[in-house]
Structure 1
Amino acid sequence: MRVVMFGYQTWGHRTLQALLDSEHDVVTVVTHPRSEHAYEKIWSDSVADLAERHGVPVIIRNRPDDDELFARLKDADPDLIVANNWRTWIPPRVYTLPRHGTLNVHDSLLPKYAGFSPLIWALVNGESEVGVTAHMMDEELDAGDIVVQRAVAVGPTDTATDLFHKTVDLIAPVTIGALDLIASGRTEFTPQDRSQATFFHKRAEEDIRINWDWPAADLGRLIRAQSAPYPAAFTFHRGRRLDILSAVVSQGRYGGTPGRIFYREGEGVVVVAGADARSGRNHGLAITRVRTEDGRELPATEYFTSMGGYLTSHPQA
């Protein structure tokens, strides 16, 4: 089939590489300009560079809604558009242009975690598995019929970086498997159960600010979800920002006020956590490694030279 590819960052790069390695003919690539957004500088393999190395025409757009782009797509005469990590709305006249429509590849197990940063949100929420879905595009974002879907388990210590590597390896088999079904003449696929649909926004600094009212298990997942190279989850100590690089749920149960720096346990320093911490039934969060405002990384047991005081969500006056 003649394929136009819409994509960006490493997800788009892996999709394009899979298409180039297949029997299908990539006739045009559309990608975004480089971005300075913190999350878009991560996993930033260039779709444009890969296409140009293979002699595929490249079109750079923030939004694919202008007449010139539409004319070039029409001239390309695609059988199918394949999209992965395209960051803006694709209008109906574009996604319905190819003979077989548009296939979107999304890194979640749709209908859950439509939208942005699905791996991070899924890890924060304690999901037992994540995956990749190829679905036909329609008028609602990430809502079309599912063509191929594959899942991988979330391990007890997995970080978002681990889950990225697990799921990015699914892109090629999911994409090419879906194209093979479409090329075989299949036109009926699995409708999504919209009663199970969830939609998430882009991550921002407010999403990585630690709230000590959260249970320790939830905070532990947040810290793993913000593993390097993502921006680290952070708190404040004595008015200064403190990045929390690693932490585990404490073995013991600790009562008191959320955010209290309480006790050395093993290789960590336990901070009281949970809105109902006063009950004494909660585990704490044992912080094991931190990074200070000046960029120093060190074990928590070296940073916290004495117990007492509080970690807070905002600088204290």
Structure 2
Amino acid sequence: MRVVMFGYQTWGHRTLQALLDSEHDVVLVVTHPRSEHAYEKIWSDSVADLATEHGIPVLIRNRPDDDELLQHLKDADPDIIVANNWRTWIPPHIFNLPRHGTLNIHDSLLPKYAGFSPLIWALINNEPEVGVTAHLMDDELDAGDIVLQQAIPVSPTDTATDLFHRTVDLITPVTTGALALIAAGHTQFTRQDRTQATFFHKRSAEDIRINWDWPAHDLERLIRAQSHPYPAAYTFHKGNRLEILAATVSQNRYGGTPGRIFYRENDGIVIVTGHDARTGNNHGLALTRVRTHTGQELPATEYFTTMGGYLTRRP
């Protein structure tokens, strides 16, 4: 099939590579300009560079809504558009243009975790598995019929970085598998159960600010979800920003006020957590590695030389 590819960052790069390695003919690539957004500078393999290396025409757009782009698409005469990590709305007159419509590749198990940063949100929410979905695009974002979906389990120690590497490896089999079904003439696919749909916004600095009212288990997953190279979860100590790089849930239960720097437990410094910490029924969060506002990275036991005081949400 003749394919036009819309994509960005490593997800788009892997999708384009899968198409290049397939029997399909990539006739045009559309991608975004480079961004300074913190999350868009991560996993930023260039779709444009890969296309150029293979002699494929490239259009760079923030939004696919201009007449010139539409004419290029008509001239390319695609059988299908394949999209992955395209960051803005694709209008119906474009996604319906090819004979087979548009196949979107999304890194979640739709209908859950439509939208942005699905791996991070899924890890925070203690999902037992994550994955990649190929679905046909329709008027509602990430809501079209599912052509193919593959999942991987989430282990108790996985970071978002671990899950990225394992899910990005699913892009090739999901993309090529879905295209094979479509090329073979299949037209009846799995409708999404919209009662199960969830939609998430882009991550920002506010989303990684630690709230000590959260339970320790949730905070421990937040820290794993913000693993390097993602921006680390942070709090404030004595007015200065303190990034939390590693932590575990405490063995014992600790009572008091959320955010209290309380006790040394093994190799960690326990912080009281949970909105109902006053009951003494909660586990704390044992910080094991931190980064100071000056960029110094060190064990929490070296940073916290005395107990007492509080970690706070604001300076």
TM-score, normalization: structure 2?
1.00
**Corresponding residue number in structure 1 for 2:246:** 246
Q: What per-residue deviation string (whole Å, max 9, x for no partner) do you get for residues 189-214 of structure 1?
A: 00000000000000000000000000
Q: What is the count of residue pairs matched by the alignment?
A: 315
**Corresponding residue number in structure 2 for 1:86:** 86
Distance 1:296 1:103 in 2: 45
The answer to whether residue 284 in structure 2 is matched with residue 295 in structure 1 is no
Unaligned runs of 5+ in 1: none
Q: What per-residue deviation string (whole Å, max 9, x for no partner) do you get for residues 131-165 of structure 1?
A: 00000000000000000000000010100000000
**Corresponding residue number in structure 2 for 1:209:** 209
Distance 1:40 1:104 in 2: 19
Shift of 1:227: 0.4
Q: What per-residue deviation string (whole Å, max 9, x for no partner) do you get for residues 229-257 of structure 1?
A: 00000000001000000000000110110
Q: What per-residue deviation string (whole Å, max 9, x for no partner) do you get for residues 111-148 of structure 1?
A: 00000000000001110100000000000000000000
The answer to whether residue 189 in structure 2 is matched with residue 189 in structure 1 is yes
The aligned runs of 1:171-190 (5 Å cut-off) are 171-190=171-190
- Please, what is the CA RMSD of the aligned residues? 0.3
Shift of 1:263: 0.5
**Corresponding residue number in structure 2 for 1:19:** 19
Q: What SS does the corresponding residue of 1:39 show, helix, strand or coil? A: coil
Shift of 1:218: 0.2
Distance 1:94 1:311 in 2: 50
Which 4+ runs in 1 deviate beyond 3 A? none
Distance 1:165 1:155 in 2: 14
**Corresponding residue number in structure 2 for 1:306:** 306
Distance 2:243 2:163 in 1: 21
- Equivalent AA in structure 2 for residue 267 of structure 1: D
**Corresponding residue number in structure 2 for 1:55:** 55
Q: What per-residue deviation string (whole Å, max 9, x for no partner) do you get for residues 160-196 of structure 1?
A: 0000001000000000000000000011100000000
The aligned runs of 1:132-151 (5 Å cut-off) are 132-151=132-151
Distance 1:84 1:49 in 2: 16
**Corresponding residue number in structure 1 for 2:127:** 127
Q: What per-residue deviation string (whole Å, max 9, x for no partner) do you get for residues 257-295 of structure 1?
A: 000000111111000000011111100000000000000
- Equivalent AA in structure 2 for residue 195 of structure 1: T
Shift of 1:75: 0.3
Unaligned runs of 5+ in 2: none
**Corresponding residue number in structure 2 for 1:46:** 46
Q: What SS does the corresponding residue of 1:246 show, helix, strand or coil? A: strand
Q: What SS does the corresponding residue of 1:64 show, helix, strand or coil? A: coil
- Equivalent AA in structure 2 for residue 148 of structure 1: L
The aligned runs of 1:107-118 (5 Å cut-off) are 107-118=107-118
Percent identity over the alignment is: 81
Q: What SS does the corresponding residue of 2:39 show, helix, strand or coil? A: helix
Distance 2:214 2:138 in 1: 37
The answer to whether residue 10 in structure 2 is matched with residue 10 in structure 1 is yes
Distance 1:98 1:266 in 2: 61
Q: What SS does the corresponding residue of 1:119 show, helix, strand or coil? A: helix
Q: What SS does the corresponding residue of 2:148 show, helix, strand or coil? A: strand
